[in-house]
Amino acid sequence: MTTYKPAKNAQEQIEYLKTNKKITFNSIHEQQARDILFKYNYINVITPYKHHFSKFDKDGNEVKIDGKHIYERDVEFSEYFNLFKNERLQYPIIIIKNILGYELRFKSIMAYRILTSTEINDENKLVAYLESVRLRIPMNSDYSDSRLEHMNNHIKQLEKSISGYADIYCFFDRMSLGVSLTIFSGLDQGLQKQLLKDFKSLGMNFGVKNINNFIDKVFTLVAIRNCVMHCNSLEILVRYYNPATPN
């Protein structure tokens, strides 16, 4: 059974930072730092950026003693807080804006191609179509069992939600990018190729020509989207979860 570290209050966090991470509080004094940690959380302000200040060996590996990073200089709390603020500033200006634009076009074009190439005119036919998608996913790919289970759950949730939509266009429009990618992964390969051609014409194919490579690129985009939409740090995503390896 996994045991968790006991929670520290803001003052205890301040003392821990001074003792273990050589953090000083000059430009931002301790009371301000306590307020910042209370509002934004240690895991957001400190944890993602430790590697900017910790010691690395000549091979680029973080040096640790008894599982703890080594810090060779005093670090102002403001240095951490500036990294936190500057990363979050990029979210609405660059990342969210571009991802939402991509998501809108991806879902719209996919729905158009599906609905103009099939005859889904009632709920039963929609369920049958989703089932064909679900069964085709493992045939189209070599995804891990956990990823296949995740995609199966997407399909099951879609099937449960069908009765809540009077319009099939709304049904497709309300899907998240991740769920839309699940649908794409189980489409007939001919339709996948047509969609990839559509996306390439709009500069949305990430420069790849292979369907599975394209799916992996969008999978990475989904991971980034979910990270920024939950205001999490992309540094954590890249360093510990490695979104570029979806299997």
| Residue 3 pLDDT | 85
Residue keyed to tokens 């009765």: 163
Q: Are 60 and 94 in contact (CB under 8 A)?
A: no
| Residue 115 pLDDT | 95
DSSP sequence for 130-198 = HHHHHHHHHHH----HHHHHHHHHHHHHHHHHGGG-S-HHHHHHT--HHHHHHHHHTS-HHHHHHHHHH
| Residue 239 pLDDT | 75
| Residue 243 pLDDT | 53
Q: Which residues contact 44 (CB under 8 A, 6 or more apart)?
A: 84, 231, 232, 233
pLDDT tens per residue across span 185-209: 999 999 999 999 999 999 999 999 9
Q: Are 82 and 93 in contact (CB under 8 A)?
A: no
Task: Report residues of the chain scoring pLDDT below 70.
Answer: 240-247
| Residue 246 pLDDT | 43
Taking residue 232's Cβ as centre, other Cβ atoms within 10 Å add up to: 14
Q: Are 46 and 17 in contact (CB under 8 A)?
A: yes
| Residue 236 pLDDT | 82
Residue 169 CA to residue 166 CA, distance in Å, equals 9
Query: What are the Cα distances from residue 173, in Å, to 111, 112, 165, 169?
Result: 8, 11, 11, 6
Residue 97 CA to residue 81 CA, distance in Å, equals 24
Q: At what angle do helices 211-229 and 96-117 cross, to 10 degrees?
A: 130
Q: Is 81 exposed, middle or buried (0-12, 13-18, 19+ CB in 10 A)?
A: buried
**208-231: buried (b, 16+ CB within 10 Å) or exposed (e) per residue?**
eeebeebbbbbbbbbbbbbbbeee
φ, ψ of residue 56 to 5 degrees: the values are -120, 150
| Residue 240 pLDDT | 63
Residue 202 CA to residue 245 CA, distance in Å, equals 25
Handedness of CA 145, 151, 154, 158 (dihedral sign): negative
| Residue 242 pLDDT | 56
